[in-house]
Each structure stands twice: as C-alpha cells, then as structure tokens.
C-alpha cells in the first residue's frame, strides 16, 4: 500500500513535540480521512489541502486517502499541519519521491491557492527541529523568528510549489541566514532619579538576590519610575534564557517582538487584568503576563486593587517558577520565574502618614485596604519598604543619582558569588540550604535572636531575613553574614506588622 511519512511538530506550552503525519492511499471509493483531529478541524484541513493541490495543478488522488496524525492527542490549532499533509498526499500518490521528505520537518498553513501562511510557535519548533538534526521548512514570515535558534537549518517558503521545487531539486531554497539578534534594549537610567537613596539601596539588594519587593508610599513619590529602572540593574540574560523568553513570546497572542531580543522582560499589567490575562489560558492555552515576565520583572502597581483570585494565583509560580493551565482534557505548562515588584499607597486616599495630615481614611478602611494583600502573598515578599515623598532639597539638588551601569556591576558580582556557592539566587534557597549557606558570625546571630524575640517573627520570616541578609553580605563581598547585614535585612521587614 502506498505510504508516505512526513515529520512536523505540535505545540504544547512552549514545547513543540514531534508529530508524524502518515498518509496511506488504499483501494476503495474515493475518500479523505484524517485521524487524530477534532471533526471541525478535519473538515477545514481537508478543504484547504484539496483546494491547494488542485489550484497548483497537482492531482488530488481519486483514492481512499487516510491521514494519521500521531500521537493522536494533539493541540487543536492544527492548521500548521496543512503543508505536511499535502506533501504526504503527493508522496503517497507518486507525485513526489517519498525519500525527498527525509531529513526535513515541515509546518505551514495552506491558503486555498497554495500559499504557505505563518504559524504560531516557530521558534519553539525550530529549537526542537535543531535538536532532532533536521532542516525546518516553514513559512517565510516565520523565518526571522525561527533563525534565533542558532545552528538550526531554516528553509523559508512562500508556496507549496516552492516546497516541491526544492524537494525535487529543481529550485533549491537557500538557508535563511539573517539574524534578528541585536543589542538588548536599554532601560531608563537610575541617574535620573534624585534622592530616594534608601529605596534604591533596597532595590539593589532585591536585584542582587532575586528578592520580591513591595513599595508602600503616597502617589507621586516615583514608585513606577523606580520600578521601570529596576530591570536595568539585573545582569544580562544568558543565551539560554534569551531563547526561553523569545519562545514564550512566540506562542503568545501578541507574538514575538524582535526588538526585545536579549532584553529582560518588564511587564506591568493593569490591576483590571483578568485571571486569564495574568496567568494564561484559553482553549489553546497561551502564556499570561506572569510567563511573559519569565526571567524578568512583573510589576504590579496598586497591588490591593488586583482581583483577589489573581493575587492568589501568583503563589504557585512564586514558589515553583512554573504555572500549569488546565483546559478540558489538555494541560499546558508555562515557565513563570519572574521577580515580583509591587507598589501600593499606604491607604485608600494615599496620604496616610504624610506630614500634611490630609488623610481622612478611618483605621478600619486602612486595615481592610492593607488586608487585601495580607496573608500568603505578603508572606512571600522578602522586602517591604516605605517610599517617602522626596524632600524638596533632594528635588532641586543638581546632583544626578548613581548610574544604572555602576549599580549593575555590583549586582553582577553578587550573582557570581551566589551561583558559584549554590547555583541559584538567594531568594530561591530552601530551608536546609539556608542552614548550609547562610552562616552568621556571633554578633549577627545574637542580633537575629534578639530581633526574633522582639518582632515575634515567624519561622518563615526568619528564613526570609536570612536570605536577604545573605544578599546584603554578597553585595559586600563577605563570606559570613555579620550583624550589619542582619540589621539591614530586618529593616526590610519593618512593615510586616501592618500586613
């Protein structure tokens, strides 16, 4: 029985598992069956493949055609399989040599006239085609994105005819070689922020150890301005991290942004964002804001205004660095290892604690407002700090702040120490690792015990103090945690009592 086998890929999360397209031509009345797809999808795929073959003057065989897509449990946006199915029909019916399909993978939606249209997830597919050691034939519009996978052999095509001419060696397609890679986008500089020395210091500690931060202060104190500059002081992305970030974008609704290559993500969703927009979702699960912030920063301004369920949903990724999205029978996992920066006013009107005494909020309202971020989420935030209104003298002073590049060089050194010592940032140290890596000197130990008793710190808070103190010591280039490092870390828990 004539049989052709074509390699392609599905999409699940940011993985692109291999799909084998087997096309059999058998005796019997003419028919066209596709096994392994939902009915509605099958109808559309059959129409497109049949029309494309007819339009390009190939013969649509008047035989019993059976297409088997293995494994059967495929994600449903399967139009990417049009091109491999059409090629399988051509090979099984003798219009194309079956062996010409070997060594290649194919993906592309077909128009009724046989043009090849762009598909989602090209980078994810290209990365895995590269690992499989095969060339990847895909829509020309997807080539720049796919070529980010260095070393992948990318053959861009515009039509079914071009693909066939390549496979028959009549008109071989040149490998795509242009690269979208460019120097990373640079963030606004910290030297533009006057004053706020203590807040900047806290952000440096947070950057050094990967700690999440909550900034509490009245409107107009520059919380958003500080947050927008924060990704700039983080170390540059590694090659592998940049690829992961790009792969997530490539399967997202907004699509891959070439200008963002190599840049640490900075996502600042509005507090009205839905649960699906934040954590991901949809029938064909797509990544949400927390995954688009992977290896970067998730900034949540006006934290108490976010939906309670949305805040609850942040707990899993804050611990595990991943999010699972279940939809019907299918489950998708997306990476979500982000650094959380959050900001809020001290009270609903924003002026609680200000010298001008303009706040008229009742203590009950203030407690309710802060209560919205209390509990497990607040507990997972290592650093909480007040962002006071800048003094007038600071605002009119002509001195610029310290530039981003100088702060980043200290952060980079602190990261190097952590990765050499423990292979991960301090914020991710587990309890037993804390015992091993967060040794304190005698004064530090005494201060910590004293603070424990005085501030009634929970065991969890105690470990958080040690993790942050470890980062402070790393910034100072010290092996052992001293009292001054503990003292600074305790400062960052002072607001705990009000949450």
Binding site for Zn ion (CB under 5 A): 347, 349, 352, 359, 361
Spatial distance between the Cα atoms of 200 and 475, rounded to a whole number of angstroms? 14
Please, what is the minimum distance in Å from the beta carbon of residue 352 to Zn ion? 4
DSSP conformational letter for 238: P
Strand order through the sheet with 154-157? 31-35, 64-70, 18-26, 3-9, 104-106, 135-139, 154-157
Q: What is the DSSP string of 40-76?
A: HHHHHHHHHHHHHHHHTT----SSEEEEEEESS---S
- CB nearer to Zn ion: pick between 231 and 348: 348
Q: Are the C-beta atoms of residues 268 and 306 closer than 8 Å to each other?
A: no
- CB nearer to Zn ion: pick between 182 and 358: 358
DSSP conformational letter for 178: -
Backbone conformation region of residue 108, classed left if phi is above 0, alpha if psi is from -120 to 50, else beta: left
Q: Are the C-beta atoms of residues 49 and 69 closer than 8 Å to each other?
A: no
- CB nearer to Zn ion: pick between 190 and 369: 369
- CB nearer to Zn ion: pick between 160 and 359: 359
- CB nearer to Zn ion: pick between 254 and 356: 356
CA-to-CA dists, residue 478 to 145, 260, 414, 442, angstroms: 43, 35, 10, 15
- CB nearer to Zn ion: pick between 228 and 352: 352
Specify which residues 7 forms β-bridges with.
Answer: 20, 105
- CB nearer to Zn ion: pick between 268 and 349: 349
Please, what is the minimum distance in Å from the beta carbon of residue 359 to Zn ion? 3
Please, what is the minimum distance in Å from the beta carbon of residue 216 to Zn ion? 13
Please, what is the minimum distance in Å from the beta carbon of residue 335 to Zn ion? 39
- CB nearer to Zn ion: pick between 366 and 486: 366
**N- to C-terminal Cα separation, the chain:** 72
Q: Which residues contact 398 (CB under 8 A, 6 or more apart)?
A: none
Q: Are the C-beta atoms of residues 172 and 206 closer than 8 Å to each other?
A: no
Burial track 105-137 (b if 16+ CB lie within 10 A, e otherwise): bbbbbbeeebbbbbbbbbbbbbbbbbeeebbbb
- CB nearer to Zn ion: pick between 119 and 347: 347
Please, what is the minimum distance in Å from the beta carbon of residue 366 to Zn ion? 7
Spatial distance between the Cα atoms of 248 and 334, rounded to a whole number of angstroms? 8
Please, what is the minimum distance in Å from the beta carbon of residue 118 to Zn ion? 51
Longest dimension (CA), the chain: 90
CA–centroid distance for 60 within its chain: 43
Angle at which helix 82-92 crosses helix 39-55, to 10 degrees, equals 60
Please, what is the minimum distance in Å from the beta carbon of residue 245 to Zn ion? 39
Spatial distance between the Cα atoms of 104 and 176, rounded to a whole number of angstroms? 15
186 token code pair: 């640079």
Please, what is the minimum distance in Å from the beta carbon of residue 217 to Zn ion? 13
> Would you say the C-alpha torsion 99, 103, 105, 106 has a positive or negative sign?
negative
Alpha helices in 93-209 (DSSP H): 122-131, 143-146, 160-167, 197-209
- CB nearer to Zn ion: pick between 92 and 359: 359
Please, what is the minimum distance in Å from the beta carbon of residue 386 to Zn ion? 15
Please, what is the minimum distance in Å from the beta carbon of residue 404 to Zn ion? 34
CA-to-CA dists, residue 250 to 120, 178, 275, angstroms: 7, 18, 21
Please, what is the minimum distance in Å from the beta carbon of residue 222 to Zn ion? 19
Please, what is the minimum distance in Å from the beta carbon of residue 214 to Zn ion? 18
């Amino acid at each position: 029985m004539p049989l052709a086998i074509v390699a392609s890929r599905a999409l699940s999360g940011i993985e692109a598992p291999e799909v084998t397209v087997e096309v059999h031509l058998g005796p019997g009345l003419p028919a066209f069956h596709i096994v392994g797809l939902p009915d509605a999808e099958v109808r559309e795929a059959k129409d497109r493949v049949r029309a494309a073959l007819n339009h390009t003057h190939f013969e649509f065989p008047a035989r019993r055609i059976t297409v088997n897509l293995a494994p059967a449990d495929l994600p449903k946006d399967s139009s990417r399989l049009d091109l491999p199915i059409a090629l399988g029909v051509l090979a099984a019916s003798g219009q194309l040599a079956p062996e010409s399909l070997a060594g290649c993978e194919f993906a592309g939606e077909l128009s009724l006239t046989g043009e090849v249209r762009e598909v989602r997830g090209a980078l994810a597919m290209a990365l895995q085609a590269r690992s499989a050691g095969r060339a990847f034939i895909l829509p020309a519009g997807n080539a720049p994105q796919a070529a980010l996978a260095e070393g992948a052999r990318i053959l861009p095509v515009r039509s079914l005819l071009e693909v066939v001419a390549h496979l028959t060696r009549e008109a071989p397609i040149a490998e795509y070689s242009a690269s979208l890679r460019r120097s990373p986008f640079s963030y606004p500089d910290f030297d533009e922020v006057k004053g706020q020395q203590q807040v900047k210091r806290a952000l440096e500690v947070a950057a050094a150890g990967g700690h999440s931060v909550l900034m509490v202060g009245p409107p107009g104190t520059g919380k958003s301005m500080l947050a927008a500059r924060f990704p700039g002081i983080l170390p540059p992305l590694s090659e592998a991290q940049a690829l992961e970030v790009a792969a997530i974008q490539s399967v997202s609704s907004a699509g891959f942004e070439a200008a963002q290559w190599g840049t640490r993500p900075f996502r600042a969703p509005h507090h009205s964002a839905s649960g699906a927009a934040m954590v991901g979702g949809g029938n064909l699960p797509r990544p949400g804001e927390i995954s688009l912030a992977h290896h970067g920063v998730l900034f949540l301004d006006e934290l108490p205004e976010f939906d309670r369920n949305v805040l609850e949903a942040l707990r899993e990724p804050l611990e595990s660095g991943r999010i699972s999205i279940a939809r019907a029978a299918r489950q998708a996992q997306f990476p979500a290892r982000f650094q959380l920066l959050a900001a809020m006013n001290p009270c609903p009107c924003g002026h609680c604690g200000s010298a001008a005494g303009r706040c008229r909020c009742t203590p009950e309202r203030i407690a309710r407002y802060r209560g919205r971020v209390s509990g497990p989420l607040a507990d997972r935030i290592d650093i909480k700090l007040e962002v006071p209104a800048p003094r007038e003298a600071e605002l009119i002073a002509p001195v610029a702040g310290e530039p981003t590049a100088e702060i980043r060089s200290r952060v980079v050194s602190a990261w190097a120490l952590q990765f050499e010592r423990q292979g991960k940032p301090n914020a991710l140290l587990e309890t037993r690792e804390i015992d091993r890596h967060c040794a304190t000197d005698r004064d530090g130990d005494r201060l910590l015990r004293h603070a424990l008793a005085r501030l009634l710190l929970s065991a969890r808070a105690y470990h958080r103090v040690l993790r942050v103190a470890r980062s402070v010591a790393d910034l100072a280039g010290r092996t052992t945690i001293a009292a001054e490092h503990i003292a600074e870390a305790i400062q960052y828990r002072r607001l705990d009592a009000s949450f």
